[in-house]
Each structure stands twice: as structure tokens, then as C-alpha cells.
Amino acid sequence: MKCPSCEHEFRLSWLMYWKSPFGRHSCPKCQSKLRMRHTFRYYLSLVVLAILFAFIPSVVASELGVNGIAVLLIYIGGIAVVFYFDKLIDDTWRGTVERK
């Protein structure tokens, strides 16, 4: 990410990601508040990722006769993959950061 105030470039750590669930990060150098612009493309990518990695595998497992707890674990694992890709999107779509 690149801070628009001080031009400091930094990587979004997992701690920073979990501290700001709605994409409002702070620059580690100047502490200015940054906000991710969530566009239609962002929300569409999250929905597609959730369908591909969480919904479809859990439905397929359920149809194959896997018990409920295993289906739930497959769904939770898929959501974990979606969180990974969401952090990756937050860190790489640098042009979408603006000063709050």
C-alpha cells in the first residue's frame, strides 16, 4: 500500500488486516487514516471467491453424504481462503487507497 499523505509504501500485515475489518488502515509512518475504496469489482470478487471456495465445496460434500461437521469444516476452510484473497486484494489494489 502507498500512503497518499507521506508517500510511504508498506505491506499490509495480518495484524493490520484484522484490526481494520472494513478497510480503514493507518499509515505506520505518519498515522494518517487510510480508507479502501470498495467498488463493485471488489464485492463481486468476494462473492465469486466465496461461491468457489466455500459454498460449492460444502454443497458437493453434503450431496456426497459427508456428515454435517465435516461440511461445516469444509465451509470454514473455504471462508479462510476467501480471507486470504481479501487481504491480498487489499494489499495489491494500491490505487484504491485514499485519505480519510
DSSP string, 33-55: EEEE---HHHHHHHHHHHIIIII
2 assigned to some structural domain: no
In a domain, 87, yes or no: yes
Please tell me the total count of domains within the chain.
1
In a domain, 4, yes or no: no
Q: Is residue 9 part of a domain?
A: no
Write a three-state SS string for 69-93: HHHHHHHHHHHHHHHHHHHHHHHHC
Helix (H, G, I), strand (E, B) or coil at 68: helix
Residue 54 placed within a domain: yes
Domain that holds residue 30: 14-98
The verdict on residue 60 lying in a domain is: yes
pLDDT along the chain (100 residues), means of 10: 82 86 83 81 90 91 87 91 88 60
* Opening angle at CA 26, ends 24 and 29, nearest 5: 160
- Residue 1 is predicted with a pLDDT of 76
pLDDT tens digits for range 52-70: 999 999 888 888 888 888 8
Q: Tell whether 92 is covered by a domain.
A: yes
